[in-house]
Amino acid sequence: MRRFCNLIVLLASAALAFIPITSTAQSGTDFANAPPQNNWANWRGPNYDGTLGDAQPPLRWSDRQNIKWKTDVPGKGSGSPVVWEDQIILLTAIDSSMGGAANPPPNPPPAEAQPKGEEKEGGLGGRGGGGRAAPTTEQEFVVLSYNLADGVERWRTTVNKAVPHERGHQTNTFASSSAVTDGRRIFASFGSHGIYCLDMRGKILWEKQLGKQVTRNQFGEGSSPSLVKETLIVPWDHEGQSILYALDAASGEIRWQTERQEKTTWATPLAVEYDGKTQIITNGTTVRSYDLADGKLLWSCGGQASNPIPTPVRMENFVVAMTGYRGNAIYAIPLDGSGEISESEKVLWHNHDAAPYVASPTLYKGQLYFTKERTGVMSSLDAKTGKVLIGPSRLTEIRDVYASPVAAGDRIYFTGRDGTTVVVKHGDKLEELAVNKLGESVDASPAIIGNSLLIRGSDKLYRIQEAGP
């Protein structure tokens, strides 16, 4: 989330002048040539882990309190807002039968109404897309731009129109991916319906069609691309031949493509620099690292659970990857590995008690914060050692989670699918600071801009900011 968010955000959701490559700095969260702190150029922000330096987002809000503005968003989408300077970018899919109106998905049922026995064959509600009927109407695949200052729509560009070949899970959308930008160009992936590059005014510069994905149980698509220097990394894991693509950012031409022994995943790749080489880290049932230069496999580490969605995060000279569907797995994997290291002493630490299914973790001041499976049960670990600092603990009034947590100002923000956000104090014990309700379902991960929080709901985009004097 993601973008998923991600799948279902799914899903759970980088750069040129901005390069989304983590350096070898003390926390692993500094970027080479990073953008100004008010830019959130990909769905996990400038540090690629959901954090933003010394920002101070608001502590409390409601659908009326501390709302700087809110604006209607047409169609459906669960990708996260990305921001460059004064512009917010969203992706959406507008059903032609709706006439371009906002079309929110139904509020999700509480977690208690979804017993595990109903999650068959890859789950999230059952077979064949969770009961949603096969699409019969044309979808408009749209890139949207809004003013950061007032939420007014600046432009919209329809990049494609088509009837989707898969129904998608009932909680997924046909626009679950998040855009990425470098401040000169916007890159948007609609998966089977094309990869697109636009300028900052919405003009299409190029497009690339990579074929059709066949996802597990027709759950639909949701992986977001990553922009690394002048290369756009596009994950293509599905029930056919899975491939990792590297596209030239200027032209869209394929620089290289590498076949993967993976079935459907929804995770966004993470790019890191280590020992003079750029690695592309991909989550999956096996975590793999590829050389950005030519796509060759550098190392792999098995042990993850099925249906991988969370994006890995980087801490100093290692990465942490997680999965939490039909099993829990968290592995801390060194970046100097080579070959298969699953069972070797090279793995720094691992944990199998709790891990997220849809949401990705956030890494804040050396601590990993994440939720268990899709529930509102959170944990925190010391990223260096794997030591449990906060054991699985239920958050107030959050039951079902797709959005990934974000962190700033010594606060961690967890948002549930019903629009409830619990703000937790950073530390080694659980201390809830506030419980906030928007009254609208939320699957997209929030974005932090200075002292504001941007949240995309099912039919509106909110800029949340404490009122000035």
Query: For residue 35, what pLDDT is reported?
Result: 47
The length of the chain in residues reads 469
Give me the amino acid identity at 290. Answer: Y
220 in a structural domain: yes
458 in a structural domain: yes
Question: What is the rounded distance in angstroms from the CA atom of residue 271 to the CA atom of residue 445?
Answer: 20
Residues 6+ apart with CB under 8 A from 468: none
2 in a structural domain: no
pLDDT at 105 over 50: no
Query: For residue 54, what pLDDT is reported?
Result: 83
Q: List the CATH number of the domain containing 301.
A: 2.130.10.10
Q: What is the pLDDT of residues 436-465, one digit of tens each?
A: 999 999 999 999 998 999 999 999 999 999
pLDDT at 111 over 50: no
Contact 101, 460 (CB under 8 A): no
Query: For residue 161, what pLDDT is reported?
Result: 97
Q: What is the pLDDT of residues 346-390, one digit of tens each?
A: 999 999 999 999 999 999 999 999 999 999 999 999 999 999 999
With bands split at pLDDT 50, 70 and 90, how would you rate the model's confidence at 53? Answer: confident
pLDDT at 113 over 60: no
The alpha carbon dihedral of 43, 45, 51, 56 has a sign of: negative
Q: How far is CA 420 from CA 50, 75, 371, 396, 453, in A?
A: 18, 22, 14, 9, 14
1 in a structural domain: no
pLDDT at 123 over 70: no
Contact 195, 189 (CB under 8 A): yes
pLDDT at 117 over 90: no
126 in a structural domain: yes
Q: What is the pLDDT of residues 237-246, one digit of tens each?
A: 999 999 999 9
Residue 349 in tokens? 């630490």
Query: For residue 118, what pLDDT is reported?
Result: 35
Query: For residue 469, what pLDDT is reported?
Result: 52
Q: Based on the structure, what is the number of domains in the chain?
A: 1
Q: What is the average per-residue pLDDT within 262-266?
A: 96
Lowest mean pLDDT, pick from 34-48, 96-110, 217-231: 96-110
- The parent domain of residue 189 ranges over 7-464
259 in a structural domain: yes
* Higher-confidence position of 110 and 427: 427
469 in a structural domain: no
40 in a structural domain: yes
Strand 460-464 with 67-72, pairing: antiparallel
